[in-house]
C-alpha cells in the first residue's frame, strides 16, 4: 500500500485486516485518536471471538516507512518484558502465533481494550503512584539494549531537524528561533550522558495514561495503564518525568518531588538529571515542530494544526524557546 493510500485508510480496511487473521468484526467501530498511526476499536461477534477480548479488539496500523520491522518488534519486546514483570501496560495480543501482522503491505498489531479514562487531574498521591510504575518500567528497561530505536539526544532529535525548519519558521522571528534552539541543543550536547540511557517510554504525558478509580491495595497504586509506546527510545530516566508535570519546573516542584518519592521506593533517581528538564522541554518543542512539518502532506495534519503556518504560532514558539535558553544560560 502506498503512502497516499495510508492517508485514505478507512475503518473498512481496518476491519478487513482484522478479518484477515481470523477474527470476525460486527461492523461497529470507534476511531481512536492517533496522529502518527491509524487506530480503531473494532467490535467483534460474541460467538466468534475469544472471551478474554470481551468483544473488542484494538488494531494499531503502523505508518509505513516510519519504523523498520526490527524497530516495531523491539516495541513489542519491551511491552512484553514490562507486562511479564507486572508493569501495567497493554501488551500486543498474541493471535495465530504472532503479535505483528501484515495486510496489503501495512503492518499492524492487535491489543486488548484497556478499561479506564484519561485523568483530568493527577493528585500528588497519583504522581507518587506513577513514580513507582516508572521505577518498575526503568528497572525492566535497563535489562536489554535497543538496537533499532533512536537515542534521545540533541543530534537525533534536534540538530537533524533544524534544517527542515528553515522553510517553515516565520522570517520575522527566524534569527531568534534558531539562536535559541542552538543554545538549547548545545546545552544538551554538553550535558547528556548516553552511558546513563536506558529503554524508556519516551512520550510519557497525561494523554498516555489510562486510569480507573478502583484502588489496588496490594500494588499500592490505582490501576494506571501506560499506553502508546510508539515513541519508546533509549534515553535518560528524567524524560519520562517532566511531561507529567502540570507546568514549568519552577511551578511544579511538589509534583516532581512526589514522582521521585514513589520512584525511589524501588529505584534510585538520578537527581543530576533534573537540570536537564528545561532543555529536554525545548528539545521536544523543536522536534514536535519538525514532526508536523515532515507530516504536512498527510491530510490530517493541516486539518489539526491549521495555525502552523501563521506568524503568531512561530512568535509564540520563539518566545518559549528564548525563555528556556535564558534559563539554561543562568544554570551555567
SS3 per-residue string spanning the chain: CCHHHHHCCCHHHHHHHHHHCCCCEEEEEEEECCCCCEEEEEEECHHHCCHHHCCEEEEEECCCCCCCHHHHHHHHHHHHHHHHCCCCECCECCECCECCEEECCEEEEEECCCCCECCCCCCHHHHHHHHHHHHHHHHHHCCCCCCCCCECCHHHHHHHHHHHHCCCCCCCCHHHHHHHHHHHHHHHHHHCCHHHCEEECCCCCHHHEEECCCCECCCCECCCEECCCCCCEEECCCHHHHCCCCCCHHHCHHHHHHHHHHHCCCCCCCHHHHHHHHHHHHHHHHHHHHHHHHCCCCCHHHHHCHHHHCHHHHHHHHHHHHHHHHHHHHHC
Among 41, 156, 196, 203, the active-site one is: 203
Q: How far from 35 is each of 123, 225, 295, CA to CA, in Å?
A: 28, 20, 9
Whether 216 is a known active-site residue: answer no
From 81, 228, 230, 240, the catalytic residue = 228
CA 171 distance to own-chain centroid:
31
CB 204 within 8 A of CB 244: yes
202-232 burial code (b ≥16 CB/10 A, e <16): bbbebebbbbeeeeeeeeebbbbbbbbbbbb
Q: Is 228 a catalytic residue?
A: yes
Q: Which grid cell sits at 244?
A: 507529567
Q: Which residues are tagged catalytic?
A: 203, 228
Amino acid at each position: 500500500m502506498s503512502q497516499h493510500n495510508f492517508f485514505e485508510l478507512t475503518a473498512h480496511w481496518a476491519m478487513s485486516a482484522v478479518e484477515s487473521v481470523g477474527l470476525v468484526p460486527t461492523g461497529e467501530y470507534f476511531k481512536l485518536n492517533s496522529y502518527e498511526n491509524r487506530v480503531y476499536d473494532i467490535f467483534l461477534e460474541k460467538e466468534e471471538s475469544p472471551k478474554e477480548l470481551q468483544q473488542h479488539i484494538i488494531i494499531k496500523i503502523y505508518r509505513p516507512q516510519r519504523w523498520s520491522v526490527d524497530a516495531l518488534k523491539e516495541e513489542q519486546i519491551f511491552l512484553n518484558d514490562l507486562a511479564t514483570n507486572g508493569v501495567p501496560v497493554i501488551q500486543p495480543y498474541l493471535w495465530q502465533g504472532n503479535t505483528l501482522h501484515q495486510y496489503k503491505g501495512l503492518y499492524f498489531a492487535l491489543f486488548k481494550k484497556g478499561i479506564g479514562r484519561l485523568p483530568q487531574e493527577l493528585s500528588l498521591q497519583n504522581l507518587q503512584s506513577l513514580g513507582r510504575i516508572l521505577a518498575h518500567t526503568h528497572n525492566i528497561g535497563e535489562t536489554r539494549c535497543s538496537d533499532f530505536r533512536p537515542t534521545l539526544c540533541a543530534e537525533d532529535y534536534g540538530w537533524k531537524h533544524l534544517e527542515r525548519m528553515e522553510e517553515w519558521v516565520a522570517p520575522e522571528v527566524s534569527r531568534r528561533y534558531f539562536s535559541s534552539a542552538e543554545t538549547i541543543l548545545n546545552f544538551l550536547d554538553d550535558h547528556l550522558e548516553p552511558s546513563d540511557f536506558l529503554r524508556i517510554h519516551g512520550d510519557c504525558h497525561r494523554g498516555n495514561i489510562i486510569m480507573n478509580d478502583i484502588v489496588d491495595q496490594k500494588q499500592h497504586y490505582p490501576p494506571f495503564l501506560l499506553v502508546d509506546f510508539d515513541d519508546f527510545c533509549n534515553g535518560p530516566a528524567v524524560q519520562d518525568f517532566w511531561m507529567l508535570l502540570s507546568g514549568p519546573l519552577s511551578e511544579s516542584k511538589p509534583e516532581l518531588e512526589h514522582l521521585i518519592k514513589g520512584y525511589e521506593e524501588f529505584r534510585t533517581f538520578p537527581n543530576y538529571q533534573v537540570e536537564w528538564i528545561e532543555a529536554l522541554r525545548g528539545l521536544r518543542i523543536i522536534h514536535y515542530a519538525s514532526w508536523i512539518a515532515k507530516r504536512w502532506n498527510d491530510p490530517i495534519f493541516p486539518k489539526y494544526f491549521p495555525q502552523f503556518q501563521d506568524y503568531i504560532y512561530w512568535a509564540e514558539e520563539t518566545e518559549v524557546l528564548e525563555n528556556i535558553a535564558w534559563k539554561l544560560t543562568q544554570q551555567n
